[in-house]
Amino acid sequence: MADEQDSTTEPMDAKAAKRAAKKGMFKRAVEQVSGLTTTTVKEGEGFVQHLYDDYETYRKVQEQGNKAKLAAQFVKKGHIFFLAEWMQTQRAGGAKITFGLCHGVRRGKEQAWFRKKLKGADIIGTDISETATQFENTVQWDFHDDNPDWQAKADFVYSNSWDHAYDPGKAFRAWAMCLKPSGWILIDHTRGHMPKSSNVLDPFGATRDAVIRILGESCGDLGQVVQVLDRTGDEEYPSTVIVFQRA
Ligand SMILES: C[S@@+](CC[C@H](N)C(=O)[O-])C[C@H]1O[C@@H](n2cnc3c(N)ncnc32)[C@H](O)[C@@H]1O
């Protein structure tokens, strides 16, 4: 995300200093990858897509960006706990959540937090970068690709990293194919996912409506968007969550 933020409860000075340091880290990360390539910018209704020359360039940019920001964390524990509890409420009296996927996890925090709440569930994180193997329950994997081991197995797929997609429709379809019947894709949408936030490292930016439209176009035969969870009042991680459910 182009504007990842800090959210600790430290005194304001320390917090502001930390935020400035982080801003510097993100700016440097974008500057570094900008030296690797330039992109062609495509604009559509409610979205901006930066196009790379080829797949190898995309991989290289994402990996370098990942390494430059390896110490950072975007989503907060409270948000992941909220989503875990929301899923448990939906499933109350029904089948337990046993398997989930989190895409673009960097340090693997989100699957660790989901695991804490959804006791006993196997939850795996993916990252395109070779650094993935440094973190627990994380595999190196490009989230656009179909993984035969995951087809129709997941109770849910979560991501806040869809703004790193070179082809969001392809990625969403690959995620939907992993869902069991009635399983969910949970897609965070924040200020940092908007079109104006896209850049050479975060190549896709879209309004919430555009994401919902692309989900319909790419996966409409597999399910539909059933709900948008409003978390805009959350101080730590103001967001909405687009919920796609597999038929
Ligand atoms: C903005 S970070 C978000 C990390 C984490 N979700 C968080 O909340 O802190 C995006 C992550 O997605 C990864 N990524 C980018 N493209 C990817 C792809 N095609 N498949 C899997 N991971 C990808 C990057 O390497 C990076 O670690």
In this predicted model, what pLDDT tens digit does every residue of 155-211 receive, in sequence order? 999 999 999 999 999 999 999 999 999 999 999 999 999 999 999 999 999 999 999
Residues β-bridged to residue 101? 124, 157
Max CA distance (Å), the chain: 53
Tell me the whole-structure pTM to 2 decimals. 0.92
Residue 5 has pLDDT above 70, yes or no: no
Ligand 1 pocket member 202 (CB < 6 A): no
Calpha distance 52→48 (Å, rounded):
13
Residue 80 has pLDDT above 50, yes or no: yes
Architecture of domain 12-246: 3-Layer(aba) Sandwich (3.40)
DSSP at 98? -
CA distances for 3 relative to 23, 57, 142, 187, angstroms: 8, 23, 23, 17
Residue 195 contacts residue 205 (beta carbons within 8 Å): yes
Ligand 1 pocket member 104 (CB < 6 A): yes
pLDDT category at 3 given cuts 50, 70, 90 is low
Ligand 1 pocket member 108 (CB < 6 A): no
DSSP at 193? G
Which residue spans within the chain are E strands per DSSP?
Answer: 40-44, 47-51, 99-103, 122-127, 138-140, 154-159, 179-189, 204-206, 223-231, 239-246
pLDDT category at 132 given cuts 50, 70, 90 is very high
The rounded percent of the chain whose pLDDT value lies above 90 is 84
Express each pLDDT in 19-64 by its tens digit.
777 777 878 888 888 888 889 999 999 999 999 999 999 999 999 9
Residue 7 has pLDDT above 70, yes or no: no
Domain ranges of the chain: 12-246
Residue 73 CA to ligand 1 centre (angstroms): 10
